[in-house]
Amino acid sequence: MYHNPGCGTSRRVPGMLRERGIEPVVVEYLKTPPGAEALAELIRRMGIAPRDLRRKEAAHAALGLDRPDVTDAAVIAAMAADPVLIERPVVAGPAGVGLCRPAERVWEALPA
């Protein structure tokens, strides 16, 4: 689980997992950011575009990431360089990888 303890949704997910007897492996991605290759693989496994994993904040506009001509590789590189740009939480499990917003989407990444 890629987690930001400063995010309310991200804080909910570990508790939800523990209630079902699952102890998550938690990566505080702001302290230990995934590299560009790891991000690209997560995005590929989610079946989304890199832009779908970025936070919609002023920082994106300031970096020009909201322009339609910006490549997927550039978006991934920006998120790897500044992980605050990554939306959270992201959970990787046996059933897949998912952006858990809302938190209940965590079950999509885990077996039933």
Q: List, by residue number, the catalytic residues.
A: 7
Strand order in the sheet with 90-93: 27-28, 2-3, 90-93, 96-99
Q: How far apart are CA 23 and CA 16, in angstroms?
A: 10
How distant is the alpha carbon of residue 86 from its chain centre? Answer: 6
